[in-house]
Amino acid sequence: MQNFKEISPKELQENAFKLIGKDWMLVTSEADGIVNTMTASWGGMGVMWAKNVAFVVLRPQRYTKELVDESGRFSLSFYNEEFKKTLNYLGTVSGRDESKIENSGLKVAFEDGVPYFQEARLAVFCKNLYAQKYTPESFIDKKLVDLWYPKSDFHTMYIAEIEKVLVKE
Ligand SMILES: Cc1cc2nc3c(=O)[nH]c(=O)nc-3n(C[C@H](O)[C@H](O)[C@H](O)COP(=O)(O)O)c2cc1C
């Protein structure tokens, strides 16, 4: 973890609304030697089952979802504004179609076998505890179904234990 130091989740000095919703994050996972990443701007961090957790939502067609399902582990990594174009690229093209990590110029690093990127300013390492696909019946506000799921590609929500947090020194 070159240039990074470990902090505890409760030491994080970040606003989750800005961090995830505005600055965006990369969800990165590895399975069978394949690393993939995608941009996400929906999710959160909090407490569940007396554990520090992060939650993310992945649509069924995401290649990254395959790797998260297989490995049960992923990182969430966060970047300075200068990487916004890179995050936009990684959130527009699928790793199924292009060697997008190579094209992005980001350098893969590993922590306890979980991939993230050397350029991150913050990385959160997660182990899945719970996964559930959203179902149309469960929506109380049905307008959300029409608005976000015209193709019925409902997200799966993952609640994952935060195992480690690294910040750039
Ligand atoms: C700003 C932004 C936020 C995104 N948030 C999510 C998200 O929370 N969940 C999701 O499934 N896809 C999200 N996406 C779309 C994926 O990043 C995109 O489909 C990506 O190409 C998937 O790559 P993959 O197939 O290599 O996994 C977002 C894209 C952008 C640009």
How do residues 92-122 score in pLDDT, each as one tens digit?
Answer: 999 999 999 999 999 999 999 999 999 999 9
Q: Which protein residue's CA is at the shortest distance from atom 18 of ligand 1? A: 91
Ligand 1 pocket test target in 56, 62, 102, 156 with most atoms within 8 Å of CB? 62
Ligand 1 pocket member 73 (CB < 6 A): no
Residues of the chain with pLDDT under 50: none
**135 within 8 A of 155, measured Cβ to Cβ:** no
**83 within 8 A of 119, measured Cβ to Cβ:** yes
The pLDDT of residue 50 is 98
Q: What is the Cα–Cα distance from 150 to 152, expressed in whole angstroms?
A: 6
pTM: 0.98
Ligand 1 pocket member 19 (CB < 6 A): no
Residue 113 DSSP SS3: coil
The pLDDT of residue 2 is 61
The pLDDT of residue 165 is 98
Q: Which protein residue's CA is at the shortest distance from atom 29 of ligand 1? A: 91
